[in-house]
Amino acid sequence: MYELVTGPLAWLSFGIFFFGLFYRLVWYIRGLNWQMDRVSYTQNMVYGIKGALRSILFWLVPFGTRSWRYYPGFTILVFIFHICLLATPVFLMGHNVLLLERWGFSLPTLPEGIADFMTTCVIVSAVFIICRRIALPEVRILTKPYDLFVLAIAVAPFITGFFAFHQVGSYDFWIIAHVLCGEIMLVAIPFTKLSHFLLFFLSRAQMGMDYGIKRGGMKNKGMAW
């Protein structure tokens, strides 16, 4: 079973992940209104690129925008969650050993203690995010079971990996569950809200170009829309 999930199923899930994201990229660009969104972009490309980069950069920096500064506690929680969610699987020692064995390359690795701490941060942050969605009326009214389901898909690889690393119960069970959960997340990314992994940069660039050119960006410093 382990050979199956780390072999053919892994190739399949990575294939769906990369081709799915490519499809979302092409579909997003083709979905733009070319008469409305591109009228002045070619004539004012410098301002558009400046606005796009400004929008992306300021939203990637904690407290870089007014929205991030409005809820400082939630902002810290979101950044901890996303940084650990992305960095832990990429630089985890076990994952890179598997990459080296199966595909002949590896990346720099995190010490096991730091990776374990970051895994815990993901799980704890997810719990707080769920509690916030339940506790705050303005967030609860917008929360659907789908949102919690997507969050569960994102966190499941970390929970199963945590149990496998600490050998809670059967190691064989948890390591296979961990790999399967990771593959489910890869497959789900292009088809769910997890696609903001890519669409965040596209939407922020589009909005930044729009405001950088057509909404006063050429006349003043503007804002990090």
Residue 128 lies in a domain: yes
Q: Which amino acid is at 151?
A: L
Within a domain: 222: no
The total number of residues shown for the chain amounts to: 225
Q: Is residue 224 part of a domain?
A: no
Please indicate, yes or no, if residue 220 is contained in any of the structural domains. no
Cβ–Cβ < 8 Å for 195, 24 = yes
| In a domain? residue 156 | yes
Specify the CATH number for the domain of residue 39.
Answer: 1.20.950
| 190, part of any domain | yes
What is the total count of domains within the chain?
1
Residue 130 lies in a domain: yes
Structural domain boundaries, residue 45: 2-213
Give CA separation, 111 vs 93, 96, 102, 118, 177, in Å.
7, 12, 22, 11, 23
Is 166 among the domain residues? yes
Tens-level pLDDT at each residue, the chain (225 residues): 776 777 778 889 889 999 999 998 988 887 776 555 555 566 667 777 888 888 888 888 888 788 888 888 889 999 999 999 999 998 888 888 877 777 777 788 889 899 999 999 999 999 999 999 999 888 889 889 999 999 999 999 999 999 998 888 888 899 999 999 999 999 999 999 999 888 889 888 888 877 777 655 555 555 444
User: Rounded to whole angstroms, how far apart are CA atoms 13 and 183?
Assistant: 6
